[in-house]
Amino acid sequence: MQNLKFLGTGSALPEKVLTNQDLERMVDTSDDWITGRTGIQERRIARDDVSTSDLAAKALSVACENAGMSPSDLDGIILGTSTTDTLFPSTACWVQERLGVRGMFAFDVSAGCSGFLYALEIASALMAAGRGRRFGVIGAEVMSKVVNWNDRGTCVLFGDGAGAAVIGPSDGDSGILASHWGANGSLAPCLYQPAGGTQRPATAVTVAENLHTVHMQGRHVFKHAVEAMASAALSAMDQAKLTADDIDLLIPHQANIRIMEATRQRCGVPSDRMFSVVAKYGNMSAATIPIAIHEAAQAGRLQDGSLLLTTAFGTGFTWAAHAIRW
Ligand SMILES: CC(C)(COP(=O)(O)OP(=O)(O)OC[C@H]1O[C@@H](n2cnc3c(N)ncnc32)[C@H](O)[C@@H]1OP(=O)(O)O)[C@@H](O)C(=O)NCCC(=O)NCCS
């Protein structure tokens, strides 16, 4: 077990709401189809002049405020994202620039929707190794800027947002009881943004062919997501010697309600113990879990001693899960 505490959490969401009814006017879709297949009713969309680091910096400053400290007190910033501000430097460095802080290490983790849990795993390992005491861990995305708004199969799924947590030493028995993470790169082409990197640098052709947007084999992703999220969560529970009855709150990655429900059922956790924000925010990739954690904490669903189970799956494919004593 790694003793640590969530000292503060925060989130940042764009004001603009895009409803399923709005989408009905943009592509050949319906509220019925989107709600039935995904459980999503609306999502937030960032303004043109807002980038991932703007949302991430805001979420981190709220988390620091709730932790009763300043961002300059952090020993490091680790940010999970797939929608970076720039190819380089990292979005975590842009977050420092936005917040006016420097000195502490800052880097991004590229693990898709598992990004926040990967970042948390790294932060807790650094803490265990004595390489710092307080870390800002963020999941942030502006998915709306990498979505093909003419592709009804993907554009209805995603939203923008950021969530953050400040983790630090625990003087009690809170901490990460067990974790599990992994990846399978042979399935990379099932969910990816084909162009803009060194495989296919940006050209007029890649732009014309919409290769800078999300390309996804939806059914394939669905099947692997359920299997990987459930088995990662069960592995964390098993290592921590927990049964489903012990879990006070399950926060799975919020890609769509059918994936979440199937994962919950395989883990045996009762439905009233799963926390969901997917209906109002859609799939915000790495941001969904920290935003859900923040909202659950604000709602009093996470009390000292509560047992929280998180699990995620994303591009890569990647997966990760944590059993956490709050
Ligand atoms: C995307 C997803 C909701 C699609 O559901 P599905 O049941 O697999 O649906 P399919 O892709 O097989 O499409 C079924 C039909 O609906 C149509 N369709 C797709 N998107 C649609 C939309 N927005 N509105 C209406 N119809 C749509 C398809 O064209 C297809 O029509 P056809 O049978 O005439 O060819 C589902 O595959 C999914 O949730 N996948 C995981 C996505 C995800 O979470 N990705 C991120 C993971 S981190």
- Residue by residue, pLDDT tens for the chain (326 residues) are 779 999 999 999 999 999 999 999 999 999 999 999 999 999 999 999 999 999 999 999 999 999 999 999 999 999 999 999 999 999 999 999 999 999 999 999 999 999 999 999 999 999 999 999 999 999 999 999 999 999 999 999 999 999 999 999 998 899 999 999 999 999 999 999 999 999 999 999 999 999 999 999 999 999 999 999 999 999 999 999 999 999 999 999 999 999 999 999 999 999 999 999 999 999 999 999 999 999 999 999 999 999 999 999 999 999 999 999 99
Atom 11 (ligand 1) nearest CA: 218
The pLDDT, as a whole number, for residue 69 is 98
Asked which of 129, 144, 172 is the last residue of a domain, the reply is 172
For the question of residue 184 being annotated catalytic, the response is no
d(CA 310, CA 302): 13
Same domain? 165 vs 32? yes
Residue 181 three-state SS = strand
- Element counts in the chain: helices (H) and strands (E): 11, 14
Residues contacting residue 220 through CB under 8 Å, at least 6 positions apart: 187, 190
Q: Does ligand 1 have an atom closer than 6 angstroms to the CB of 255?
A: yes
Same domain? 185 vs 75? no
Same domain? 59 vs 140? yes
Same domain? 12 vs 141? yes
Same domain? 104 vs 148? yes
The pLDDT, as a whole number, for residue 171 is 84
The pLDDT, as a whole number, for residue 269 is 98
Structural domain of residue 248, as residue ranges? 176-325
d(CA 267, CA 180): 15
Residue from 18, 82, 219 whose mutation best tests the ligand 1 pocket (most atoms within 8 A of CB): 219
How far does residue 218's CA lie from ligand 1's centre (Å)? 6
Asked which of 120, 140, 172 is the last residue of a domain, the reply is 172
Into how many domains does the chain fold? 2
Same domain? 34 vs 93? yes
How far does residue 110's CA lie from ligand 1's centre (Å)? 25
Q: Does ligand 1 have an atom closer than 6 angstroms to the CB of 38?
A: yes
d(CA 69, CA 107): 21
Q: What is the CATH number of the domain that holds 13?
A: 3.40.47.10
For the question of residue 215 being annotated catalytic, the response is no
**Encoded amino acid at 114, one letter:** S
Same domain? 185 vs 80? no
C-alpha distances (whole Å) from 288 to each of 152, 199, 255, 276 are 21, 29, 8, 9
Which member of 93, 113, 190, 267 is catalytic?
Answer: 113
